[in-house]
Amino acid sequence: MGKTLLSIIIVVLFGVVAGLPLIHKGLPPTHDGEYHIVRFFLFNEAFNDGNIYPRWAAHLNNGFGVPLFTFVYPLPNYIAVFFHSFGISFMDSFKLEMFVAILSGAIFFYLWAKEFWGRLGGVVSSVFYTFSPYHFVDIYIRGSVGEVWALAFFPAFLWIYTKFVATRKKRFSIFSSIFLALIIFSHNILALMFFFFALSYASLLIYKEKNKKYLILNTLYLILLGLGLSAIFWLPAIYEAKFVTGLQIFDVSAHFPDLYQLLIPSWGSGFSGAGLQNQLSPQIGIANLIAISISLIVIFFQIKKKDKKYFHTIFFMAWFIFVLFLMLSISFFVWQTIPVMKYFQFPWRLLSIEVLFASFLAGSIFSLGIHKWIKIFSAILLISLTFILGIGYAKPAYYHYRDDDYYINRSNFIDGTNSPGNVFNTIYLNSIPEKEEKKVVFTKGKGETIAIEEKSNFYRFKIDTRENSEILINIAYFPGWEADIDGNKIPIEIDDGRISVSIPDGKYELNVIFKDTFIRKFAIFISTLCFFMTLILFIKNKFARI
């Protein structure tokens, strides 16, 4: 236990060094960071309005609102709400989240790799993972907090599932479901990408075990449970994607990196496909390429034994080569043939799992029967190497010295739809409408309106009209919006992408509320059911061990 704790302390220290620039005052200028700060603010507002699972962002779209949170991974938003409840700004919450995710990933990777390569191999693999250039791209260039969380939970799932296969203990199966759900909540695109690998990984572990039927059935159960826990997010997002535009705006063919870009070190803060100057760096990393070379040597020495570790090394090497192929333009026919791959958006995004393979293989040298002191020397050498090669990327170009108000109150941040080019919107609106001074206007008849209450998903007005009238409510229509007068539901019409209702003459209280559709209610039911199933399984498992 003492040696394991020491190993964890070492990988945490390296994680602290990797994330130390995030503790600096100010905000690193990243591609997505400012989007996230606005999302945190809007999500927090909706959550405080009583929405346990927010789906609507009221301030965006020039005040007409947009169903942003139906389609955006929720975990970073919930964590930001938690941090903000302690008085931490949304800007600092963004940085703190990534810092915690870095440390979490370092620990989980060590625990996973240790199962195969021992403590020294686990430490080496973890440091390689933490200092992989693409990890730093996500943190300091792209600012993709959801991807950083996903990179933390990948090894968590692999570790806990490996423990389940090795021990057959139910509690590890339950935790596998939870980590699978957390990956989906962290970043849906990376979750889909990781899922295919995870299935093959599970197949590899099960293939070498006895009582395969038990493992296969329980693996199926834990996958279904993980999908069920996260259904509240992914099920409505898939079904209701037909009601929005702008979810798929990237041309995959324009984002294939060249082989030299993957192999030769480079660094830039630009965007993918932006030309040769100042573009995004899609490098695998020299240290990770060295790790691959090491694993080839290991395979050579293991070829006679052909034990489990040999097959594991071969398996990860094969995946590394396959993913390398998928990142190159020669694989374009594969992207065209398999429709689901278009959701990955950028072929270089596969670096998220490519660095996982390479970092895992970095520890494979410790599976060889070499002297203890040679192992220690090798560990020091490899850790020093990846640290020296990677530390130069662990920093932002500079810092913006701003506060939350800078983003919350500026039109260019709060009036769009929080998407690249502001192309995301409902299908009922052709573009972002012009701002309107009043939330409610008469399009037929006349009268008076007084706003009584306005929340992110609920509006209450007093209406006084002396004739049958039609009222236009300046809210973007999306399935789920309903209206009632004095508690009696009234039909909604769509007028130029907005909500329109007919009001008879008289004095009324008009309520407009965003409710859950059938698919959302069904998803909530599934996730709630799976949550209580998980709770019951925990309790049952606990008492079974007493």
User: What pTM does this model have?
Assistant: 0.95
C-alpha separations of 300 from 293, 304, 378 in Å: 11, 8, 18
> Is residue 45 within 8 Å of residue 58, measured between CB atoms?
yes
- Residue 521: inside a domain: no
- Residue 251: inside a domain: yes
User: Whole domain around residue 317: which residue ranges?
Assistant: 2-408
Cβ-Cβ contacts under 8 Å for 439 (sequence gap 6 or more): 451, 454, 459, 461, 473, 474, 475
Collapsing DSSP to helix, strand or coil, 476 comes out as strand
Q: Give yes or no: residues 451 and 314 share one domain.
A: no
Q: Give yes or no: residues 397 and 487 share one domain.
A: no
Place of tokens 């979750």: 191
CATH of the domain at 444: 2.60.40
Q: Give yes or no: residues 383 and 480 share one domain.
A: no
Q: Give yes or no: residues 300 and 379 share one domain.
A: yes
Q: Over its length of 546 residues, how does the chain's per-residue pLDDT go in tens digits?
A: 677 899 999 999 999 999 999 999 999 999 999 999 999 999 999 999 999 999 999 999 999 999 999 999 999 999 999 999 999 999 999 999 999 999 999 999 999 999 999 999 999 999 999 999 999 999 999 999 999 999 999 999 999 999 999 999 999 999 999 999 999 999 999 999 999 999 999 999 998 888 889 999 999 999 999 999 999 999 999 999 999 998 877 788 888 999 999 999 988 887 776 554 457 889 999 999 999 998 888 877 776 666 677 888 899 999 999 999 999 999 999 999 998 888 888 999 999 999 999 999 999 888 777 778 888 888 899 999 999 999 999 999 899 999 999 999 999 899 999 988 889 999 999 789 999 988 999 999 888 888 899 999 999 999 999 889 899 999 999 999 999 998 899 999 999 999 999 999 999 999 999 999 999 999 999 999 999 999 999 888 765 554
- Residue 526: inside a domain: no
Q: Give yes or no: residues 138 and 55 share one domain.
A: yes
Q: Give yes or no: residues 246 and 364 share one domain.
A: yes
Q: How many domains does the chain have?
A: 2
Cβ-Cβ contacts under 8 Å for 349 (sequence gap 6 or more): 189, 190, 193
Distance of alpha carbon 394 from alpha carbon 49, whole angstroms: 38
Residue type, 167: T
Start-to-end CA span in the chain (Å)? 23
- Residue 335: inside a domain: yes
Q: Give yes or no: residues 94 and 161 share one domain.
A: yes
